[in-house]
């Protein structure tokens, strides 16, 4: 089964790198969508079917934490698995994000294989 993926990052370059990593990793990806911040991500979600969201934390307009809170409040979107891809590694901040429902956390820098393993595990568990 191919999964539709939404990548949310204010760096266009980083979005390209994540896409490249997904392609190289062999993850079973269907359609690919991108957004530069949380607000843009919500617009994409209102018009496209998305199975998985990969989001950065620090972004202008609407950051990753605000996006996750919005998703949690919305019955249509609250079941979509969210993976955080960020440079941050604070245990306190990560616990707050896990409490909000973030499924997994990948710290930059990362290898494509790490990305594939985490995403495959999440999508397999999402069918349980």
Residue 47, both tokens: 């018009």
When the beta carbons of 66 and 88 are compared against another protein, the nearer one is 88
Helix (H, G, I), strand (E, B) or coil at 62: coil
Q: Which residues bind another protein (CB under 8 A)?
A: 10-14, 16-17, 20, 58, 60, 86-93, 107-111
When the beta carbons of 78 and 107 are compared against another protein, the nearer one is 107
When the beta carbons of 78 and 87 are compared against another protein, the nearer one is 87
Sequence-separated (6 or more) residues with CB below 8 Å from residue 15:
7, 9, 34
Q: Nearest distance from residue 115's CB to another protein, in Å?
A: 12
Q: Nearest distance from residue 96's CB to another protein, in Å?
A: 9
When the beta carbons of 11 and 78 are compared against another protein, the nearer one is 11
Smallest CA-to-CA distance from 57 within 93, 30, 22 is with 93
Interatomic CA distance for residues 70 and 20, integer angstroms: 28
Q: Nearest distance from residue 71's CB to another protein, in Å?
A: 22
Per the CB < 8 A criterion, the answer to whether 79 and 45 are in contact is no
């Amino acid at each position: 089964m191919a999964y539709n993926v939404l990548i949310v990052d204010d760096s266009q370059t980083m979005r390209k790198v994540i896409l490249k990593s997904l392609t190289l990793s062999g993850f079973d990806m269907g359609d690919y969508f991108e957004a530069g911040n949380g607000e843009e991500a919500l617009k994409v979600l209102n018009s496209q079917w998305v199975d998985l969201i990969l989001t950065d934390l620090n972004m202008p307009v609407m950051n990753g934490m605000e996006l996750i809170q919005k998703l949690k409040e919305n019955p249509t979107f609250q079941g979509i698995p969210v993976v955080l891809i960020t440079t941050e590694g604070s245990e306190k901040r990560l616990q707050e994000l896990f409490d909000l429902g973030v499924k997994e956390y990948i710290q930059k820098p990362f290898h494509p294989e790490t990305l594939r393993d985490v995403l495959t595990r999440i999508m397999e568990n999402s069918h349980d």
